[in-house]
Structure 1
């Protein structure tokens, strides 16, 4: 919440009249997701844009409080529950967008239906991350199909590129390499903003967009 409040201060420094509120949300906890959704429903009658962006990258073998593999639980199951819970508010907006920030790693991912939590010595940080991001892309496609072409809610998945943030905290990347090869957060946000705001995408849904 301290980071959120700091971000609000930064945004109000650019636009002092901006009306911004930060609400606590832990996507690795179903209880937290439901509490967040309840609080948002009490505040708002509609949601125009939902961007599912928070996540975790190639962490050690951990479990969420609900007993799921941490990357699958945080990157996919938490946002999936949040999206379904907020769907009535999204449908209440004139036009709404669900934007799922995935990764190019989904291309080498596989959904391990027989061992979704990668138990019994099969856990690998990269394998778990790729599975979670593939799940996001597939979910985006299927949600668009189920909502239908006439729905006011459109769905988008995207690869923002490799961005210099705290996401890599479980990896041993050098600062020199990150400075040379990684996108800045401002550049890394552009594909997300494109999917969230560009009017050219008004009639598209269920597709995947890449920063390249």
Structure 2
């Protein structure tokens, strides 16, 4: 069953892939949806697409924000815009992500995967907590991955270069570890946090560029994101990892289940070490 209450939902990285599909599904269900993209023209085009299918309260409440998530200053500017524009936020879906890229290093000398996939949602979420606290029961959905690998803190700090696969897997573990810690931090504010692997090798542009093949439809990922955002089924779930891959080893569109992330995501000492290094990196950027 799905909550019969109109929600205000922000989805990052929603001009393409499963983020866009989730936005379409949520607007069609009558929710107020705010999109995000780094290209203003593409964002405007997708907003128009989402507006065309919107129903109920969503009809006049579809809009978006422009920000380049490889630039954390831009991320904080977007957060300020969101805080100014919205009175509350019921669901924050940190969907924006990057795998392959022609330019792996940001202007701050960091690997773009660590920035877009971890540091940007970290900064955005913390800046939007006041809005989330205005909701009766907010949810944060963080897009993890089946690919999770132990973090090199030299790589996080930009002191060591990684290949695409390792950078992506390490950044996704960082996001997952932080999700577990965040859930504990905001539990008193009645905010739920779930990390989710939406499914391996979904039929999206990012997967096509990285692998040139897919196992499951993009709808599989969009469907679980939609359910995690608004379904009553997940109303009391927090500090958990949803693995949308099928557990019998086959590939298809059937839904997964809650599972165990990488061991580091359940290790309090490892999570504390991540937080320490994260703060060091952020201080070096904003010093």
Give the whole-Å Cα distance in 2 for the aligned partners of 1:115 and 1:14.
Answer: 43
SS in 2 for 1:23: strand
Deviation string for 1:151-204 (max 9, x for gaps)? 32110100111222221364351xxx44xx2323x3321111121111122222
**1:68 lines up with 2:110 in the alignment:** yes
Query: Where does residue 160 of structure 1 map in the other structure?
Result: 198
RMSD: 1.9
Query: Where does residue 150 of structure 2 map in the other structure?
Result: 110
**1:204 lines up with 2:237 in the alignment:** yes
Query: Where does residue 88 of structure 1 map in the other structure?
Result: 130
Bigger shift: residues 187-196 or 60-69: 60-69
Which structure 1 residue ranges, 4+ long, deviate > 6 Å from structure 2?
none
Deviation string for 1:77-115 (max 9, x for gaps)? 011000000011111111111110110102xx1111244
Length-normalised TM-score, structure 1? 0.87
Gap change, CA 1:92 and 1:15, over 3 Å in 2? closer
Task: Tell whether the 8 Å contact from 2:155 to 2:162 is kept in structure 1 after alignment.
Answer: no
**1:59 lines up with 2:101 in the alignment:** yes
Query: Where does residue 262 of structure 2 map in the other structure?
Result: none
**Where do residues 3-82 of structure 1 align in structure 2 (5 Å cutoff)?**
3-15=42-54, 17-59=59-101, 62-82=104-124
SS in 2 for 1:208: strand
Bigger shift: residues 81-90 or 192-201: 192-201
Task: Tell whether the 8 Å contact from 1:45 to 1:89 is kept in structure 2 after alignment.
Answer: yes
Deviation string for 1:127-174 (max 9, x for gaps)? 1100000011111100111223x332110100111222221364351x
Gap change, CA 1:152 and 1:117, over 3 Å in 2? same
Task: Tell whether the 8 Å contact from 1:59 to 1:71 is kept in structure 2 after alignment.
Answer: no
Give the whole-Å Cα distance in 1 for the aligned partners of 2:230 and 2:183.
Answer: 18
Q: Which structure has more RCO (C-alpha within 8 Å, separation ≥ 6)? A: 1
Give the whole-Å Cα distance in 2 for the aligned partners of 1:138 and 1:171.
Answer: 24
Question: How far apart are residue 4 of structure 1 and its match?
Answer: 2.1
Deviation string for 1:3-42 (max 9, x for gaps)? 2222222222223624211110221111111111111111
Length-normalised TM-score, structure 2? 0.65
Give the whole-Å Cα distance in 1 for the aligned partners of 2:162 and 2:105.
Answer: 11
Question: How far apart are residue 119 of structure 1 and its match?
Answer: 3.7
SS in 1 for 2:74: helix
Uncovered stretches (5+) of structure 2, i.e. residues with no partner:
1-39, 245-255, 257-287
